[in-house]
A and B are shown apart, each in its own frame.
Chain A
């Protein structure tokens, strides 16, 4: 420490001497570089002021008393700046720590979502889910049962960030305890509703759409808990219809009934499920219209389901200058044969 002080003193003295002699920009540049070194060595603003004065006193003999005294005021003021600087450093460290905790949590959260590809002759499945921040309040799931039924779900916790992410993991765990209801969309949502109602604050709620496709009779059965309507694409007519079902959002009331609906899918028809982060994308300051989204899907419909959702995400992300305001989830399930 003492050694550093002595060498800093010498460096500062050389720098000041050179500047006083020729007032060169070079010496000023040197001082700028030197300031980085001082910060690295944890030198506070008040120490710098004091260093300046002592070097100056040595270089310019017989400094007027007023000049020397005036440094008392500067020193006093700089103590405050020094404290603010140190506080800033400690807050920055804490922020880094929080960031890395969040990164770990986000990784854990990701592991709750399905990863493996489902490659089947019967259906083509694609999904993308991107959080606005590090953690997501969106949930999606897809799973294949022993009869070949493919269940798909998208849920959206109202809110963002960590609280939303914690609620999202609750949906995941609750889903895992209800395997036998995967082919009963109404009963599944009724059970989830009970879990959510019991376990989250009354000011939070969750919307969800769940459905499954039965490849034996080509019916898609589904139910919705106040969720953003999806779409059904009719390949023969080249038409999109809304996919919706009545039902209260999860978590509002303990006893809610959900009435499932069903529709027949022909080869090439597909189902689109989404979170409101998709329809709340803004292009040129305006929410995109559902028709615009339909146009985009139509534009890419010749691609595979995964390619469609990827392309749409990229297009919307770019249109919003890479700033997502809400978690974004888009899932497509297409009947192949």
Chain B
């Protein structure tokens, strides 16, 4: 049975709880301290985005395995306003110039796999995986 955690994000407490869950799982899987910090930073950014732009949403954290590799998968789901121009938010310097932190390009860099789906007025779903080397 694979570990799976759901954390509701409607306050900064939720962000901390999601980080904690992510770090715990990453450590258990065997990630080193640098990768643990990267994974938690990615969780932070995704959770903050939910908190800031969608008010409410969820972070799911689970272990994944694929062709013998193990990894941590983060799924961030919200029912917020959605993102109008995905290409722009994935552009370096677009969100960060406003002082919003690492932004989605940062999350993509911290993790190995990254996928985003968004629908206007319906919400956004982001999946990111870090594989253990």
Given the known A-B contacts A76-B41, A91-B92, are A83 and B32 also in contact in the complex, defined by CB atoms under 8 Å?
Answer: no
What are the residues of chain A within 8 A of B32 when measuring CB–CB? 50
- Classify chain A: how many residues form its interface, as a range: 10 to 19
Q: Please, what's the 1-or-0 string for A36-60, where 1 marks a CB less than 8 Å from any CB in chain B? A: 0000000000110010000000000
Residues of B in contact, count (CB < 8 Å)? 16
The answer to whether A46 touches B92 (Cβ under 8 A) is no
Q: Is B93 a contact of A46 with CB atoms below 8 Å?
A: no
A residues 58-96 near B (Cβ < 8 Å) are 71-72, 75-76, 79-80, 83-84, 86-87, 90-91, 94
Check B34 against A87 for contact (C-beta < 8 Å).
no
> B106–A46 contact, CB under 8 A?
no
Most chain B CB within a 10 A radius of its CB, from A71, A72, A83? A83
Q: How far is the CA of A84 from the CA of B93 in the complex (A)?
A: 10
A86 to B102, CA, bound (A): 10
Asked if A80 and B109 sit within 8 Å, CB to CB, the answer is: no
Q: Does B20 contact A (CB under 8 A)?
A: no
Which label, helix, strand, loop or mixed, suits the secondary structure of the A interface? helix
- B93 nearest in chain A by CB position: A91
Chain A neighbourhood of B40, CB < 8 A: 76
B27 to chain A minimum Cβ distance, whole angstroms, is 12
| Closest chain A residue, CB of each to CB of B105 | A87
Report B88-115 CB contacts with A as 1/0, cut-off 8 Å: 0000110010000110011001100000
Interface status of B10 (Cβ within 8 A of chain A):
no
B4 within 8 A of A: no
Can you give 10 A-B contacts (C-beta < 8 A)? A46-B38, A50-B32, A71-B33, A83-B102, A83-B106, A83-B109, A84-B96, A87-B93, A87-B105, A87-B106
Smallest Cβ-Cβ distance to A89: which chain B residue: B92
Chain A contacts to B: CB under 8 angstroms: 46-47, 50, 71-72, 75-76, 79-80, 83-84, 86-87, 90-91, 94
Given known pairs A50-B32, A50-B34, A86-B109, the reply for A79 and B41 (CB within 8 Å) is yes
Cβ–Cβ contact A46 & B102, under 8 A: no
B-side contacts of A84, CB under 8 Å: 96
Residues of B near A46 (CB, < 8 A) are 34, 37-38
Contact among A47, A50, A71, A80 with B41 in the assembled complex (CB-CB below 8 Å): A80
CB distance from B7 to the nearest CB of A (A): 19
Structural contact, B110 and A50, CB atoms closer than 8 A: no
**Cβ contact within 8 Å between B34 and A47:** yes
CA distance A84 to B103 in the complex (A): 10
